[in-house]
Amino acid sequence: MKGLRAVLPKAVRKRITFGFGTALLLIALGFGLTLYSYNQYRKASDRIEHSQQVTNRLGRILSLITDVETGERGYLASSGDGIYLEAFDVAVPKFTPELNEIRSLVADNPQQLQNVDSLSMRIDTKIATAYQQVDAVKKKLPISIARTYMLLGKSRMDRVRQLLKTMNEIEQARFETYSKAAENSFRNTLIIIFTLSLLTFVTLIVSYNLLENELNTRQKTEDQLRAYEDELQDKIQLLEISNEELERFAFVASHDMQEPLRKIQSFGYLLRDRYEEGLTPEGVMYLNKILQSAERMSKMIKDLLNFSRISSKKEPFRMVRLADVVQGVLSDQELKIKAAEAVFHIDKLAVIEAVQSQMDHLFSNLISNALKFTQPGKAPVITIKGGGVDGDMYPELIPGKKYYQITVADNGIGFNEKYIDHIFKIFQRLHGKSTYEGTGIGLAICKRIVTNHKGLITAQSQPGVGTTFIILLPEKQTQSIHDNATTHETSTYTIG
């Protein structure tokens, strides 16, 4: 079932689970009902056997009382031959245990209990009459007296037979009732077993067909996916070849473009240094514009190379101290910082798994951006903070994964947040080139670096108030179960 969970959609798994669960329920229900019907059948069978035992005991009573009757008449007819009293003497002591046994058997039937008591009294009366007749023969009383006892005994014998017949009829009725109940239980058991077996069979067939159809559909989908995968692999291979060619082209093109550009700059500086006095003011202006354009072109080529190398150059992820990265950027831009009289506050920077060179580019561009877009007459104040967050806080991130949030806030000119997506695109600028220098690639490089680290970059800003860039990077690129803690270092820098 674990294997099926991995390949079947949730809705199909639910239907199949419901089908097999229904089949198991039907089997359990069938077992329970069969057991119940069997118990009912067994109870009815026990009652049938019980009635048969009562009937047998009543037959033995009838046999015994018949022996008494036969012995009594034989003794009278033979005028006192003792051989006829042998069966008589054997039968009389057996009535009491037989009647007691019948009482125990009919204990659950008040009517039969009452009949047993009446039967006991009638048997006693019959036996007493028989003894009187035997005594009359022994004492040689007139034959008329003996015949009177005989007629009285016959009457009492008929009453015993009548009561035995009534009791047998009652037991026969109970026997038929219990037999019918046993027959019904047996028939119901067969019907239940057949019906539930049929339902279980149908349910299993439906579930099996559903499973088979889903697996066939899944197999077709997998075959199509394999075909698409093979096609995609071919395209990826072609794309990798194309990227390698583009990378080589970019390197060669940049190298070839840098060479004439350096010559333009070199000869331009020579021309300005040696012949500036011989040029008209308009010529000097043209020459300076050429040198400025060449310088801007050189920066643009370098930024383009950095932008293209971020995703194409495969550098390993290592544990990087962000505090050291920021300190290195501050050292590199020390002259700019002193010239702007900027103040930095850096707090709680962690050690995360990242690419060292890309972290250098990230913080270099963000700090340069904060130093560039300042308000006139106002010293820039730049605050860099960090702290751990969970991926659940942002829909673009992986829920449950640990991320490290870095904020770079300034008190610069800010911008309208409706342009927040615009600023991270390559060559996109919110200000003219004459107002603020730059190539329009810096934030695009930041975006590509963060994307390469499977993170997120965004910003919050208000015109005239300042901008806060928010960067979220995974603490671990391959996070293990026990890697939940992040090492923090606290430091504060004030440069002004």
User: Mind listing the pLDDT tens digit for each residue in 454-483?
Assistant: 889 888 888 888 889 999 999 888 644 334
Tell whether the model's pLDDT for residue 139 goes beyond 50.
yes
Q: 457: helix, coil or strand? A: strand
User: Among all chains, which residue has been given the structure tokens 């070849």?
Assistant: 241
Tell me where in the chain the CATH 1.20.120.1730 domain(s) lie.
2-213
Contact 441, 303 (CB under 8 A): yes
Rank 115-124, 232-241, 250-259 by mean pLDDT and report only the highest.
Answer: 115-124
The band of 430, judged by pLDDT with boundaries at 50, 70 and 90, is low
Tell whether the model's pLDDT for residue 302 goes beyond 60.
yes
User: Which pLDDT belongs to residue 420?
Assistant: 76
Tell whether the model's pLDDT for residue 89 goes beyond 70.
yes
Two structure tokens written together for 326: 């920021």
User: Which pLDDT belongs to residue 225?
Assistant: 86
Per-residue pLDDT reduced to its tens digit, 145-203: 767 777 787 788 888 888 888 888 888 888 888 778 777 777 777 787 778 778 877 87
Per-residue pLDDT reduced to its tens digit, 61-88: 888 888 887 877 777 777 677 777 777 7
CB-based contacts of 296, cutoff 8 Å, min separation 6: 433, 437, 439
Tell whether the model's pLDDT for residue 495 goes beyond 50.
no
List, in sequence order, the alpha helices (H) in 78-94: 85-91
Tell whether the model's pLDDT for residue 263 goes beyond 80.
no
Q: 8: helix, coil or strand? A: coil
Per-residue pLDDT reduced to its tens digit, 96-127: 888 888 888 888 888 888 888 888 888 888 88
Mean pLDDT for the chain overall? 78
User: Which pLDDT belongs to residue 465?
Assistant: 84
User: Which pLDDT belongs to residue 428?
Assistant: 55
Comparing 17-21, 66-70, 449-453, the range with the smallest average pLDDT is 17-21
Tell me where in the chain the CATH 3.30.565.10 domain(s) lie.
317-489
Cα–Cα dist 214/9, whole Å:
9
The band of 489, judged by pLDDT with boundaries at 50, 70 and 90, is very low
Task: Specify the DSSP element, H or E, that contains 311.
Answer: helix 281-312
Check residues 484 and 347 and name the one with the higher pLDDT: 347
Check residues 331 and 89 and name the one with the higher pLDDT: 331
Average pLDDT estimate for 359-375: 86
Of 1, 4, 139, 164, the residue nearest 69 (C-alpha): 164
Tell whether the model's pLDDT for residue 247 goes beyond 70.
no
Amino acid at 315: E
User: Which pLDDT belongs to residue 233?
Assistant: 85
Two structure tokens written together for 447: 């975006």
Two structure tokens written together for 284: 């000097």
Check residues 484 and 197 and name the one with the higher pLDDT: 197
> 317-489 maps to which CATH number?
3.30.565.10
Of 430, 420, 427, 389, the residue nearest 407 (C-alpha): 389
Tell whether the model's pLDDT for residue 8 goes beyond 70.
no
Contact 88, 72 (CB under 8 A): yes
User: Which pLDDT belongs to residue 313?
Assistant: 56
The band of 494, judged by pLDDT with boundaries at 50, 70 and 90, is very low
Two structure tokens written together for 12: 């199909």
User: Which pLDDT belongs to residue 436?
Assistant: 52
Cα–Cα dist 114/120, whole Å:
10
294-309 as b/e: b if 16+ CB within 10 A: beebbebbebbbbbbb
DSSP, residue by residue, 191-226: HHHHHHHHHHHHHHHHHHHHHHHHHHHHHHHHHHHH
Strand order in the sheet with 349-354: 318-321, 349-354, 487-489
Tell whether the model's pLDDT for residue 304 goes beyond 70.
no
CA 192 to chain centre: 35
- Tell me the torsion sign for CA atoms 72, 77, 79, 80: negative
Contact 345, 485 (CB under 8 A): no
Q: Per DSSP, what are the bridge partners of residue 390?
A: 402
CATH class, range 2-213: mainly alpha
pTM for this predicted structure: 0.46
CB-based contacts of 4, cutoff 8 Å, min separation 6: 13, 16, 211
User: Which pLDDT belongs to residue 83?
Assistant: 79
